[in-house]
Amino acid sequence: MALRRTSSAQAPLAVLAVVSELYPFVKTGGLADVAYALPLALATEGIAVRTLLPGYPAVLAAAGDASTVHEFADLFGAPARLRAAQAAGLDLLVLDAPHLYARVGNPYLAPDGKEWPDNAQRFAALAQKAAAIGRGAMAGYAPDIVHAHDWQAALAPAYLHYGGTPRPRSVMTVHNLGYQGQFPQALLAELGLPPQSWAIDGVEYYGNIGYLKGGLALADAITTVSPTYAAEIRTPEFGMGLDGLLRQRADVVSGILNGLDTDVWNPATDPHLAQKYDAATLERRAANKAALQAQLGLASAPDALLYGVVSRLSWQKGLDLLLEALPALLHQGAQLALVGTGDAALEDGFRAAALRYPGRVAALIGYDEALAHRVQAGADALLVPSRYEPCGLTQLAALRYGCVPVAARVGGLADTVVDANEMALAADAATGVLFAPVTRERLELALAHTAALWRQPAVWRQLQARGMASDVSWAAPARRYAALFRGLVASAG
């Protein structure tokens, strides 16, 4: 990792990020990528981020000889330690509480696939200690901002709010409104939430304690990960029950697009690829396509349009529609390479499709970082038919890798892909294919449109080149986060 120099002339600001997953140690989705890349990008804006996260085994292993900087006598039934470490180029504060976090595998789910029964305590503990550190529990550290990511960290603004002043400012970032963290009212006292927090303007949410609800109600500022999603979540269609609250707080809601770590995702240096390439050597992608087809047992067919999918398999991602549209895709002579994991029904559906269409459909059910890179470099187009998508990172990687995104016109997909309609093509602005509404019929039309574009090699190359020229880096988003943080601190006086 190259050292990134501070270029900002402004006074340094200290931010405590609070998050439940972090690439490259523990990752279930894009949240982990953002938690890793944003602090690195903010460093160039003069913002020093320390990241508080649970001491899962993989995190403690990476943190090596982390020193204990604080001890908590009792954290939901046992003592805990706060350990400071440098890992992956980040400044980490690891909440070492074996009774809560010494569990391998998925950070939220037990081996039986169900939520851990003590998730309420596990993530309240994280948020509670974030608020304590925010208030100076750790000697010599006084963050200006506590930045909570998603429901797992969302009680931090609530604990800060109910703890009185002085306190740091709080920012709640929503990566996905589909996961809210709701737990029984009976836990209120155990979680250390005061009686007055049981209110419509507190953590109460339809008779439960709503973690994300509390964070949204009580944070000083709310962000989400794209401008379009910021607008969508204020509507009943996308608000998932929280649109009323988000409309009420509209003056503090903003959408800041995610970036991509352009060192991790760089086709010119990517160690996972059969052949490295850049915009000037696009013809070298052919070797990656051939290698991908060979690795996955697809027919070696340079001229067949090869679609890739890299995704969690969940309702959000709309991949049930892809299963329905598969006959149409294959009828056009295309191939499909999917790497994904998630809902059993979807896993089974893609496994069955691969058996039914050998050589034309390949499904790697599992999590495979290297293969994700190879799909981006070897597939011709990346399918992202999401029903909703707060930002989406795979289409950003696709743009950078000259893999043409074919995506639903929702959320961050709408903000980052320019549809290849006649006007956009004429203006040389198009980077992919967008469709709406998210139905099987519209997906099939998008596949037909994509096939037509594929049959025009010059147009296809134009799409690839324009996509590769898009700025998908963290530079602009980091400036926006920095401006938000500085504004909050300034307005606090």
Interface residue with ligand GLC among 176, 223, 275, 311 (CB under 6 A) is 176
Residue nearest to ligand GLC (CB): 30
Mark residues 394-433: x for contact with ligand ADP by CB under 6 A, - for none.
Answer: x---------------------------------------
Region binding ligand ADP by CB under 6 A among candidate stretches 43-51, 186-194, 347-355, 386-394: 386-394
Site for ligand ADP in 325-354 (CB under 6 A): 339-341
Closest by CA position to 391, among listed 205, 251, 255: 255
Region binding ligand GLC by CB under 6 A among candidate stretches 208-216, 363-371, 391-399, 459-467: 391-399
Task: Tell me how far CA of residue 238 lies from CA of 225, 242, 255, 278, 293, in angstroms.
Answer: 14, 9, 15, 38, 37
- Please say which residue, 128 or 395, places its beta carbon nearer to ligand GLC: 395
Contact between 393 and ligand GLC by CB under 6 A: the answer reads yes
Check: CB of residue 343 under 8 Å from CB of residue 458: no
Interface residue with ligand ADP among 49, 177, 393, 399 (CB under 6 A) is 393
- Please say which residue, 94 or 260, places its beta carbon nearer to ligand GLC: 260
Region binding ligand GLC by CB under 6 A among candidate stretches 91-99, 383-391, 429-437, 471-479: 383-391
- In angstroms, give the least distance from the CB of 392 to ligand GLC: 5
Interface residue with ligand GLC among 143, 259, 390, 405 (CB under 6 A) is 390
- Please say which residue, 132 or 338, places its beta carbon nearer to ligand ADP: 338
Interface residue with ligand ADP among 69, 336, 372, 443 (CB under 6 A) is 372
* Chosen from ligand GLC, ligand ADP, none, partner binding at 369 (C-beta under 5 to 8 Å by type): ligand ADP
Among all chains, which residue has been given the structure tokens 């099939």? 444
- In angstroms, give the least distance from the CB of 328 to ligand GLC: 26
> Number of residues in contact with ligand ADP, rule: CB under 6 A?
18
Per residue, what are the HEC states of the chain? CCCCCCCCCCCCEEEEEECCCECCCECCCHHHHHHHHHHHHHHCCCEEEEEEEECCHHHHHHHCCCEEEEEECCCCCCCEEEEEEEECCEEEEEEECHHHHCCCCCCCECCCCCECCCHHHHHHHHHHHHHHHHCCCCCCCCCCEEEEEHHHHCHHHHHHHHCCCCCCEEEEEECCCCCCCEEEHHHCCCCCCCHHHCCCCCCEECCEEEHHHHHHHHCCEEEECCHHHHHHCCCHHHHCCCHHHHHHCHHHEEECCCCCCCCCCCCCCCCCCCCCCCHHHHHHHHHHHHHHHHHHCCCCCCCCCEEEEEEEECHHHCHHHHHHHHHHHHHCCCEEEEEEEECHHHHHHHHHHHHHCCCCEEEEECCCHHHHHHHHHHCCEEEECCCCCCCCCHHHHHHHHCCEEEEECCHHHHHHCCECCHHHHHCCCCCEEEECCCCHHHHHHHHHHHHHHHCCHHHHHHHHHHHHHCCCCCHHHHHHHHHHHHHHHHHHC
Interface residue with ligand ADP among 22, 25, 33, 147 (CB under 6 A) is 33
Contact between 391 and ligand GLC by CB under 6 A: the answer reads yes
- In angstroms, give the least distance from the CB of 137 to ligand ADP: 31
Closest by CA position to 183, among listed 155, 156, 159: 155
Q: Hey, CA dihedral for 114, 109, 223, 147, is it positive or negative? A: positive
- In angstroms, give the least distance from the CB of 390 to ligand GLC: 4
* Chosen from ligand GLC, ligand ADP, none, partner binding at 225 (C-beta under 5 to 8 Å by type): ligand GLC
Site for ligand GLC in 399-438 (CB under 6 A): 412
Distance CA 260, CA 470 (A): 12
Distance CA 49, CA 261 (A): 16
Contact between 30 and ligand GLC by CB under 6 A: the answer reads yes
Contact between 368 and ligand ADP by CB under 6 A: the answer reads yes
Interface residue with ligand ADP among 385, 392, 432, 477 (CB under 6 A) is 392
Q: What are phi and psi of 254, to 5 degrees?
A: -140, 160
Region binding ligand GLC by CB under 6 A among candidate stretches 101-109, 117-125, 386-394, 458-466: 386-394
Contact between 29 and ligand GLC by CB under 6 A: the answer reads yes
- Please say which residue, 212 or 298, places its beta carbon nearer to ligand GLC: 212
Residue nearest to ligand ADP (CB): 30
Distance CA 19, CA 49 (A): 12
- Please say which residue, 240 or 459, places its beta carbon nearer to ligand GLC: 240
Mark residues 208-247: x for contact with ligand GLC by CB under 6 A, - for none.
Answer: -----------------x----------------------
* Chosen from ligand GLC, ligand ADP, none, partner binding at 394 (C-beta under 5 to 8 Å by type): ligand ADP
- In angstroms, give the least distance from the CB of 480 to ligand GLC: 14
**Which residues here bind ligand ADP, judged by CB under 6 A?**
29-31, 33, 310-312, 339-341, 367-369, 372, 391-394
**Which residues here bind ligand GLC, judged by CB under 6 A?**
29-31, 34, 175-176, 225, 258, 389-393, 412
